[in-house]
Structure 1
Amino acid sequence: MTATVPTAPTAPAPHLARWLIRLHQPALLVGTAFVVVLGAALLWLWGPLTHGSVTAWRQYEACATTGPCHYNQYAILLHKDVYQYATFALLAVPFLVAAWAGASLVGRELEQGTVRLAWTQGVSPRRWLAAKLAVPAVPVTLGTGLLVLLHHLMWSAGDGRIGTAKDWYSGETFYANGTVPVVLALAGLAAGALLGLLTGRSLAALGGALGLTGLLWLGTQLAMPHLWPTVTRVSSLHDGPTGSGLGVERGLLTASGARIGDHGCDDGGTPKCRALFDRLDAVGYYHDYHPESHYWPLQITTSAVLLGVTALLTVAAFRVLRRRTGGPAAVPASAAAVEEAAV
Structure 2
Amino acid sequence: MTTDPTTPRPRTARWLLRLHRPALYGFTGLVIVLAALQLALAGPWADAAARGWRQFDACTGTGMCGYDQNAILRYKDYYDYATYALDALPFLVAAWAGAALTGRELESGTARLAWTQGISPARWLTVRLAVPAALVTAGTSLLFWLHHRAWAAGRGRIDTLKTWYDLPTFHANGPTTVALALAALAAGTLAGLLLHRTLPALVLGTAVTGGVVWAAQRLMPHLWPAVTRVTTLKQGGVGTGILVEQGLVTRSGAHLPLPRCSSEAACDAALAKASGYYSAYHPYSHYWPLQLTTSALLLVVAGVLVLACYLELRRQTGALRGAGEATACGAKGILVGA
Tell me the residue number matched to 1:309: 301
Tell me the residue number matched to 2:135: 139
Distance 1:39 1:201 in 2: 34
Distance 1:19 1:327 in 2: 27
**Root mean square deviation of aligned Cα:** 1.9
- Residues 32-84 of structure 1: CA distance to partner in whole angstroms, max 9, x if unpaired? 01111111111121112111110100100110377531111111111111111
Partner SS state of residue 148, structure 1: helix
Tell me the residue number matched to 1:274: 268
Question: Once structures 1 and 2 are overlaid, which stretch shifts more, 33-42 or 105-114?
Answer: 33-42
Distance 2:258 2:58 in 1: 41
Distance 1:157 1:74 in 2: 18
Tell me the residue number matched to 1:149: 145
Q: CA deviation at 1:156?
A: 0.2
Distance 1:49 1:187 in 2: 33
Contact 1:192 1:205 survives alignment (8 Å):
yes
Partner SS state of residue 326, structure 1: helix
Identity level (%): 56
Q: Does 1:86 align with 2:82?
A: yes
Q: CA deviation at 1:271?
A: 6.7
* Matched AA of 1:292: Y
Distance 1:264 1:286 in 2: 16
Q: Does 1:295 align with 2:287?
A: yes
- Residues 95-139 of structure 1: CA distance to partner in whole angstroms, max 9, x if unpaired? 000000000000000000111111011000011001100011111
Candidates 304, 312, 323, aligned match of 1:320: 312
Tell me the residue number matched to 1:215: 211
Q: Does 1:226 align with 2:213?
A: no
Distance 1:184 1:305 in 2: 10
Gap runs ≥5 in structure 1:
1-9, 329-343
Q: CA deviation at 1:257?
A: 2.6
Contact 2:259 2:267 survives alignment (8 Å):
no
TM-score (normalizing by structure 1):
0.87
Q: CA deviation at 1:262?
A: 3.7
Corresponding pairs, count: 313
Partner SS state of residue 60, structure 2: helix
Partner SS state of residue 232, structure 1: strand
| 1:144-223 correspondence runs (5 A) | 144-223=140-219
Q: CA deviation at 1:241?
A: 2.6
Q: CA deviation at 1:272?
A: 6.3
Distance 2:63 2:226 in 1: 45
Distance 1:120 1:171 in 2: 47
Partner SS state of residue 31, structure 1: helix
Gap runs ≥5 in structure 2:
1-6, 321-338
Partner SS state of residue 318, structure 1: helix
Q: CA deviation at 1:260?
A: 2.2
Partner SS state of residue 134, structure 1: helix
TM-score (normalizing by structure 2):
0.89
Candidates 242, 246, 265, aligned match of 2:242: 246
Partner SS state of residue 64, structure 2: coil
Question: Once structures 1 and 2 are overlaid, which stretch shifts more, 249-258 or 229-238?
Answer: 249-258
Candidates 47, 53, 56, aligned match of 1:51: 47
* Matched AA of 1:130: T
Contact 1:102 1:202 survives alignment (8 Å):
yes
Tell me the residue number matched to 2:323: none
Distance 1:309 1:73 in 2: 44
| 1:103-114 correspondence runs (5 A) | 103-114=99-110
* Matched AA of 2:35: G
Partner SS state of residue 260, structure 1: strand
Q: CA deviation at 1:258?
A: 2.6
Contact 1:241 1:286 survives alignment (8 Å):
no
Higher RCO by CA contacts (8 Å cutoff, separation 6 or greater): 1
Contact 1:87 1:173 survives alignment (8 Å):
yes
* Matched AA of 1:286: Y
Tell me the residue number matched to 2:329: none
Contact 1:227 1:302 survives alignment (8 Å):
yes
Contact 1:234 1:241 survives alignment (8 Å):
no
Tell me the residue number matched to 1:339: none
